[in-house]
Structure 1
């Protein structure tokens, strides 16, 4: 049975939704400057942290693996990503950012102003508390590797 949310929880949920919407809007706009979709830019950001199996990318983005295949295909066509065999299991294909892809991912990350400026107005203690609360909300299964 679903219980109604208390007003404070409703306000927090709405604020989180607004932050997420702004993040996607700004990410999509930054990506478009480089002739990428928002989804391509988000995959590139994941790959810039290190090679990753396609299935794991799909899980992280909450989408179908077939969608990831198309996104990686387009990133490959622009020399921003490549596929390689997993050294631990040659049957598994990893997607990886190229050097050009890693540079572009960093440019995109650096161009996101909406969060940087408001976060800069918080103290280190406040940012640490915010990070810790968000991590606690997500739980261990929701945290990036």
Structure 2
């Protein structure tokens, strides 16, 4: 009987990079939660609003983008809609589909959220333009979207 292949161990450098990526992600989410709280939003509401500020999307696509259940997205959109930050509108391509979209007030709140992220202002601002370009290109490459 053949033995199953053993999982490959991470070399120390790769392990350190993985841990640093985890630290960056944790710091980003912590900062995002704080920025959201300044607008009386949860982190999930802020992420959804920021996504909607880029483009209106059907609930199903929002759920896929945010990696959560469609019922969660519905509840979050309901709460944003009650505050006047989001709205539902018919999809011009298919009137049977409803799109969630940021209102003008919601788009402004999303801009303020992005501008309020200390993480983007502090550590990234300490990098030169060339370093930020290199970091961007490496991250894109890691995610498979090319440079």
Q: Which has the higher helix share?
A: 1
User: 1:118 & 1:33 partners in 2: Cα distance?
Assistant: 21
Q: Residue deviations 1:70-126, cap 9 Å, x none? A: 110100010000001110011211100000000001111101012322111211111
How many residues are matched? 140
User: 2:36 & 2:127 partners in 1: Cα distance?
Assistant: 27
Matched, 1:110 2:115: yes
3-state DSSP of counterpart to 1:118: coil
- Cα-Cα RMSD: 1.1
TM-score, normalisation: structure 1: 0.92
Q: CA deviation at 1:59?
A: 1.1
List alignment gaps of at least 5 residues for structure 2.
Answer: none
| 1:67 equivalent among 47, 69, 72 | 72
Matched, 1:50 2:55: yes
TM-score, normalisation: structure 2: 0.91
Q: Runs of 4 or more off by more than 6 Å in structure 1?
A: none
For the pair shown, which has the larger CA radius of gyration, 1 or 2?
2
Matched, 1:17 2:18: no
3-state DSSP of counterpart to 1:79: coil
User: 2:8 & 2:70 partners in 1: Cα distance?
Assistant: 34
List alignment gaps of at least 5 residues for structure 1.
Answer: 141-145
